[in-house]
Amino acid sequence: MIIDVDHDLSLLQMMENTGKYDPFLKKDQPERINIIREITAGIAHEIRNPMTTVRGLLQLLQQKKECSLYQDLFKVIIQELDKTNEIITELLFLSSKKATNLTFHNLNDVILSLRDVLLDRARQYKMQVTMDLADLPELLLNREEIRRLILNLAQNGLEAMPTGGNLQIKTFMEEDKVVLTVQDQGEGIEPEALEKLGIPFYTTKEEAVGLGLAVCYGIAARHNARIEVHTGSLGSTFAVYFETDTCRCSTPLA
């Protein structure tokens, strides 16, 4: 089964998919979508600012000798704050209407910049990460958004292999498209879950929030890309197809 990303994917459309959708929102839909985005981004920023202050104060307290007995407690609190900050970051990515600050990047370079992070995450799960990167033209990308997309897909793949395995990240050309694939060796995705991929806050994992894949789908849509999901008993592959209309290359692609 294949799931595609709609280039007009929005928070409002995601709400409709969850069943928490009110028909009255169809009136003046673009304006209401923008309002939802602005509210989401505004709330996220308002929560993040005081959290940053609290985190900084906790770090100062950690350095005081009279607080030495509470070091373990400070560590736990800071870790929880960091988890919350990660959720806020995902919400900000999700509320973005379109990619900004697009510049030419080679997708392979973005992947390689994450190599140490990915290997470290894999070691935590006692797994391996392999890369097979082909020669690619440069694409107009928002580097930070694409980094987030890669990290989220990789994390999703690692979590899909509770008994261990190898996560393979590949890039290649397919006709006139640049393709990124992230393949795991898990047990595959159940049909019911497959139909709900990309819906915010939907997750089959106990401690997950359910924003990772929703953010990936949003980032792909903002880059005029599409995501296909291929799954079976031997694992799942998430493939991201980037258009090369605005690529920078020295030789014809096809």
- For residue 80, the number of C-alpha atoms closer than 13 Å in the C-beta half-sphere is 8
Confidence of residue 225 (pLDDT cuts 50, 70, 90): very high
Q: Given a cut of 50, is residue 244 above it in pLDDT?
A: yes
pLDDT above 90 for 139:
yes
Task: Break the chain into its structural domains and give their ranges.
Answer: 11-95, 103-243
Radius of gyration of the chain (CA): 20
Q: What is the pLDDT of residues 87-121, one digit of tens each?
A: 777 777 666 666 678 899 999 999 999 999 999 98
Residue 156, Cβ neighbours under 10 Å: how many? Answer: 21
pLDDT given for residue 177 in this prediction: 95
Q: What is the 3-state secondary structure (H, E, C) of the chain?
A: CCCCCCCCCCHHHHHHHHCCCCHHHHCCHHHHHHHHHHHHHHHHHHHHHHHHHHHHHHHHHHCCHHHHHHHHHHHHHHHHHHHHHHHHHHHHHHHCCCCCCCEEECHHHHHHHCHHHHHHHHHHCCCEEEEEECCCCEEEECHHHHHHHHHHHHHHHHHCCCCCCEEEEEEEEECCEEEEEEECCCCCCCHHHHHCCCCCCCCCCCCCCCCHHHHHHHHHHHCCCEEEEEEECCEEEEEEEEECCCCECCCCCC
Q: Tell me the C-alpha distance between 28 and 19, whole Å.
A: 20
- 247: confidence class by pLDDT, cuts 50, 70, 90: low
Give the CA distances from residue 166 to residues 86, 104, 129, in Å, rounded to whole numbers and listed in that order: 25, 30, 6
Residues 6+ apart with CB under 8 A from 5: 198, 217, 220, 221, 225, 226, 227
What integer is the mean pLDDT of 208-213?
72
CATH architecture, domain 103-243? 2-Layer Sandwich (3.30)
- On average, the pLDDT of the chain sits at 79
168 vs 209: which has the higher pLDDT: 168
pLDDT reported for residue 195: 78
Whole-model pTM over 0.85? no
